[in-house]
Chains A and B, each alone.
Chain A
Amino acid sequence: MTTLSWAGGMDRSRARRLLQDYGVYAALLLLFVVAVALNGSFIEMSNLRAQLLQVTPVLVVALGMSLVIGTEGIDLSVGAVIALAAAVLPLYLGYGFGASLVVALVVGAVSGALGGAMVAFVRVQPIVATLSLMIGLRGLANIINGSSGKPVTDSTVADLGTGNLAGIPVMTWIAVVCTVLTALVVRRTTFGRQLVAIGDNRQAARLAGLPVRRVLMTVYIVSGVLAALAGVMLVGYSAESDPSTVGLNYELNAITAVVVGGTPLTGGRVRVLGTVAGALLMQLISAVLQQHNIHQSYQQIIEAALICFAVYAAQERGTR
C-alpha cells in the first residue's frame, strides 16, 4: 500500500479500509505472480488442475462455515460430517449413485440439524454444541466403516472425483455453483439479510420479529449438507473411504479460509468471495512452500504466522 501517493487525497483510514476489503485478493494475485516467477511450470494446466482439485472440498465446506460464522456461530463438526458422509456413501451404491448421494446429503442435513437445534433452541454455545458432534459423529463414522480404509470402485464416483467438463474438473464446477448460490443467498435474499442481522445482534433481531431459530437451524443444516457434499467429493477424489483420516482438520482449514477472507468471527458480515479467495490463498501458500521443498513443519509455522497477520490486517478498527 505504500506505493499509493498520500497527496492524492488518500488518508490512512481509507487505505485501511481498502486493505480490509481487497487485501485478500491483492495477496492472492501477488502470491500467484510470485509463484509463477519462482517456478514457470506453476502456470501449467496440469498443476493448476491439481491445485483446484485439492482446494475444492475445503472451499465447499468453507462456504457453509462462512454462513455459520456470519450468525456469530462456529461449526467444528464439519470434519466429522465429512467422515460420516464418506462412510455412508459406499453403503448405498448398490441402489445407484443418485440414491447414495441423497442418503449422504441427508445424513449431513441431520447432523447439521442436531447442532442447529442445540444452538437455536437450547442456546448452547456453538463451539461446545458442535464439539460434542465432532467427537460423536467421527466415532459413528468409524463404527459404520469399521475404522479402516475401504476402496470405493464405482465409475460415477470416480468420474465425479476426476472427471472434466470443458477442461475444468467437475468438482470445481460444483464448487462454483455452490459459491454463486451462496453469494446470491447472502446478497439477494431475505434469509441472507436475516442471518447477518442475527450475527450482528441476536437479541435485536429477535425483538424485531425475525425468525431467529428457523434461520439458525437452516444455517447449520446448510453447513452440514455442504460438508457431506465435500465428503462425497473426497471419496471420489481418493477412490476410498477411510473415516479415521478423511476430513481431519477440515474444520480448522475452513475456519481459516473464512477468517482470512475477511469475515469477522463476531458475526454480522459474510464475505463469500473473500472466503473463496481465502481458501485459494491458503492452498497457494501451501503449494508454493511444497514446491520449494520446504519441510512440512516449517510450512505449518509460516502458515500460522500468515494467518495471524491476515486476520490482524483485516480486523475492523475502532471496536475499542
Chain B
Amino acid sequence: MSPTAVRPTALPPDDPAPPPAGGQAAATPLRERVAHQLQRRGAPVVLVLVAVIASISSSTFPTWSNISSILVGNNFVWLLALGMTFVIITGGIDLSVGSMYALGGVLGAYGAQHGGSLVALVLPIAVGAAWGTVQGLLVARARMAPFIVTLAGLLGARGLMQAISNEGATTYIVPKNSFFASLGSGTWVPLLILAVFFAAGTVLLARTRFGATLTAMGGNENAAVLMGLPVARAKVLVYLLSGTVAATAGALGAARLQSGVTTIGVGYELTAIASVVIGGTLLTGGSGTVGGTLSGVLLLGVLHNLIDSHFSQYGSAFTDLVNGAFLAVVVLLQTLLSRTQQLS
C-alpha cells in the first residue's frame, strides 16, 4: 500500500457492533439504507430546507440580485471544490489549489495585459497542468504522501506567484472590454461557465472509464492494481486535472476582478475540502459525486449569505466561528451515518 496521508481503507469502529436484537434483524438493512442515502444526499436536502426557510423568513434572500450574488459572487472558487472532488475520491488530497488559484489569476491578468485574451487563457492552463503533473508524478511514481507533496506545492506555487508579481508590488490589470474580461463579467456568462464545468465533471466521474477507475482506486487501491486498472496514470491525471481546474478558476476570477490579486487564495483549499466533505464524499476515498460537491458549495454559499446578512454587525470573525461549528456538526453527522452503514 502506498503511504498516503489519508488512510485509504476505512476501519471498523472502535466498538464491536452490538448484535441486533431478535426481530430487528430485518430492520437493520433498512436503517443502513436510510443512513447511506442521508449521507449521500444529506447536503441537497439540507440545502433545500435552508433555502426554503430563508425565503420565507427573509424578504431580501429570495430576490434575484441576492441569488445571483450567491451563484457568481464566489469568483469561480467553486471550481476548486470540483477538482478537489476527483482527488479526494482517489483517497488523496490537494492542498495546493488555493495557491494555484492565486497563481492562475496573476498569470491570467499578466497574459491579458501583455498578450491578449488567448494568452490570458492558455498561460494559466499550461502552468496549472504542468504543476499538477509534477505533483501527480511525485505522488504516483515516487510514492510520496499527497499531503506533503501538495503542501510543498502550496508553498512553491505561492512563491512563484509572488515572483511573477515582484513580491506583490506589481498588479497586472485585465484590459476592460477584452474577450477575456467578458468571461468573468456579468451574471450569465460566469454562470454558464460554472454549469459547463460541473456538467463535464459529472459526466467524467459518473459516465467514463476514467471516473470508474478513480472510484475503484479510492475504494481499494491494491485491488484496483490487481484488476489491471491504470492506477498510476489515473493518479497523475487526477492531480493534473485539479491543478488545471484551479489555475483556470483563478484566471476566470481575475477576469471577474479585472486584475491579478496577489493576496487572494489563502485558505481556499480548506474551503474546497469542506465543500467536498459536506457534499458526502468520503475523505477515505472510494465514494462521492460531483452533484454532492455542488450541493456542498451551494449550501456553504447560502449559509455565508445568510450569516452575512443577519450577523454582519458581528463581523467576519463570527462568520468563521459559525462556519467552523457548522462544518464540525456536518462531519460528525456524516461519520455517524457512515458508521451505521458499517454495522453490518
Contact = CB atoms under 8 A, between A and B. Distances in A.
Contacts of A252: 151, 154-155
17 contacts: A128-B327, A129-B328, A131-B273, A132-B328, A133-B324, A136-B321, A137-B324, A139-B321, A147-B315, A147-B317, A202-B11, A296-B167, A298-B163, A300-B158, A301-B156, A304-B153, A312-B138
B296 to A, nearest CB: 13
A311 interface: yes
Interface residues of A, number: 54
Contacts of A135: 270, 274, 320, 323-324, 327
Given A123-B13, A252-B155, 20 more contacts: A123-B335, A124-B331, A125-B284, A128-B283, A128-B327, A132-B328, A139-B318, A139-B323, A142-B320, A203-B12, A255-B151, A259-B148, A264-B3, A297-B160, A297-B161, A297-B162, A298-B159, A301-B155, A304-B155, A312-B144
Nearest to B96: A304
B324 A307 contact: no
A307 B142 contact: no
Contacts of B1: 319
Contact of B156 (A122, A138, A212, A305): A305
Interface of B: 1-7, 11-14, 93, 138, 142-145, 147-149, 151-156, 158-163, 167, 270, 273-274, 277, 283-284, 314-325, 327-328, 331-332, 335-336, 339
Contacts, number: 168
A312 B14 contact: no
Contacts of B11: 123, 202-203
Contacts of B315: 142-143, 147
A307 B148 contact: yes
B255 to A, nearest CB: 24
A305 B151 CA distance: 11
B320 A138 contact: yes
Interface in A281-320: 295-301, 303-305, 307-308, 311-312, 315-316, 319-320
B25 to A, nearest CB: 25
Contacts of B153: 304
A60 interface: no
A277 B2 CA distance: 26
A266 interface: yes
B331 A265 contact: no
Given A301-B159, A307-B155, A143 B13 contact: no
A213 interface: yes
- Residue of A140, A147, A259, A304 ringed by the most chain B CB atoms within 10 A: A304
A175 to B, nearest CB: 24
Interface string A203-231: 10010000011000000000000000000
Interface residue SS majority, chain B: helix
B160 A139 contact: no
A82 interface: no
Given A266-B3, A298-B163, A303 B328 contact: no
B328 A307 contact: no
B14 A206 contact: yes
A125 B13 contact: no
Nearest to B138: A308
B93 A127 contact: yes
B156 A304 contact: yes
A124 B163 contact: no
B151 A307 contact: yes
**Residue of B5, B152, B339 with highest tally of chain A CB at under 10 A:** B152
Contacts of B283: 125, 127-128
Given A295-B163, A300-B155, A136 B142 contact: no
Contacts of A132: 274, 324-325, 327-328, 331
A72 interface: yes
A151 to B, nearest CB: 20
B6 A125 contact: yes
A311 B319 CA distance: 37
Contacts of B12: 203
Contacts of A27: none
Contacts of B325: 132, 136
B327 A131 contact: yes
Nearest to B10: A123
B159 A308 contact: no
A74 B331 contact: no
Contact of A297 (B154, B163, B314): B163
Nearest to A206: B14
A125 B283 CA distance: 7
A53 interface: no
A159 B177 CA distance: 59
Given A123-B13, A213-B14, A305-B156, A315 B167 contact: no
A311 B274 contact: no
Contacts of B160: 297, 301
A256 interface: yes
Contacts of B145: 265-266, 311
Contact of B324 (A139, A297, A312): A139
Which of B138, B149, B277, B328 has the most C-beta atoms of chain A within 10 angstroms of its own C-beta?
Answer: B328
Interface string A250-275: 00100110010000111000000000
A307 B142 CA distance: 14
A142 B152 contact: no
B323 A308 contact: no
Contacts of B6: 125, 127
A175 B18 CA distance: 46
A118 interface: yes
Contacts of B324: 132-137, 139
Contacts of B154: 252
Given A140-B321, A315-B144, A122 B336 contact: yes
